[in-house]
Amino acid sequence: MVTSSAPGKVYLFGEHAVVYGEPAVPCAIERRARITAERRGDDRLRVNATDLTLDGFTVEYDGDATGTPDVDVAEPLLEEGMGYVNEAIEQARDAADAPDAGFDVTIESSIPLGAGLGSSAAVVTAAIDAATRELGVELDAAEIADRAYHVEYEVQDGQASRADTFCSAMGGAVRVESDDCRRIDDVPNLPFVIGYDGGSGDTGALVAGVRDLREEYDFAADTVGAIGDIVRQGEQALKAGDLEELGELMDFNHGLLSALGVSSRTLDAMVWAAREGDALGAKLTGAGGGGCIVALDPDDGTETALRYTQGCESVFRAELDTEGVRVES
């Protein structure tokens, strides 16, 4: 039996634009998914998930996931969740050359599902690590990142960048531009405050919406390009440790995401509350539509403002997590 964990992430800059080859800077945060993989005597896969911000569920099914399990969870969410685990186990079987290996898999996660904090990437990354180790094979973080990306690509019908999975596997702040993924060294302390509206967005639909706008209007394509410019400027600010400028650029990035139609009333309300609480800057993180915002604030103002904001269900601080995927036991 092996337990591995991997961190979630926030996007400091660049979600959506990264899908079209612009750079993005996601940062791993100290909220992890822990996956335990235990080899079974047969070739089946049994998944037990207790706290994915869903009611707990246990599903037993064979490798090709035929038949819908009878559980009290929205079916698309369940199917998607199972798809991630199923494909992650496929990757582990492939890496260890053990096509018939069966597993009992337990998922424990403190990362809200579908809320822009990279829950699926963390689950997939940790699952590949735990299952390959259980089969006696140790992959390096770069290979886990690559295999995890292929899982997301598969499950999300080709609508995935390498950003989430690379960040979760490597930890810290990373820069992703198409296939070029690297860690950013010497990052200053980033005082992240996260506001969560308790909801989630449909990543596929939101990505498709931006794609349509970009095809229809040159100014939408220019907006995507301008997000790329913000990211490049943000990298300089990050290198210089200039939190004021980082905040200003986050505000700008949120405005452009909003123009592309991926914000929501509650995300905007939380962003404005953070600004009124004297955050250095605030933006939605991830696909948008609902879920989380990230603000930069070394003081208490943003947390207090968000606590009194209608539509904000929870607020927490999240330190940058410099460690990526790791074995726990």
Catalytically annotated residues = 164
| Selected range binding ligand PMV among 13-21, 59-67, 141-149, 246-254, rule: CB under 6 A | 13-21
Sheet holding 192-196, edge to edge: 281-284, 292-296, 192-196, 314-318
- Give the DSSP H or E segment for 281: strand 281-284
Residues 238-267 vs ligand PMV: string with x where CB under 6 A?
Answer: ------------------------------
Q: List the helix and strand counts (H, then E) for the chain.
A: 9, 12
Sheet holding 326-327, edge to edge: 57-61, 45-49, 103-109, 25-39, 2-13, 326-327
Do residues 42 and 58 lie in contact, with contact meaning Cβ atoms separated by under 8 Å?
Answer: no
Answer for which of 161, 223, 253, 263 binds ligand PMV (CB under 6 A) is 161
Size of the site for ligand PMV (CB under 6 A): 14
Instruction: Indicate whether 164 belongs to the interface with ligand PMV (CB under 6 A).
Output: yes
Instruction: Indicate whether 106 belongs to the interface with ligand PMV (CB under 6 A).
Output: no
Answer for which of 45, 85, 160, 305 binds ligand PMV (CB under 6 A) is 160
Give the CB-nearest residue to ligand PMV: 286
Instruction: Indicate whether 155 belongs to the interface with ligand PMV (CB under 6 A).
Output: no
- What is the closest distance, in whole angstroms, from the C-beta atom of residue 83 to ligand PMV in the complex? 14
Do residues 195 and 315 lie in contact, with contact meaning Cβ atoms separated by under 8 Å?
Answer: yes
Answer for which of 113, 141, 230, 287 binds ligand PMV (CB under 6 A) is 287
Burial class of 143 by CB neighbour count within 10 A (0 to 12, 13 to 18, 19+): middle
Please identify which residue in the block is written with the tokens 């943003």: 302
Contact set with ligand PMV (CB under 6 A): 15-16, 18-19, 116, 118, 160-161, 163-164, 203, 207, 286-287
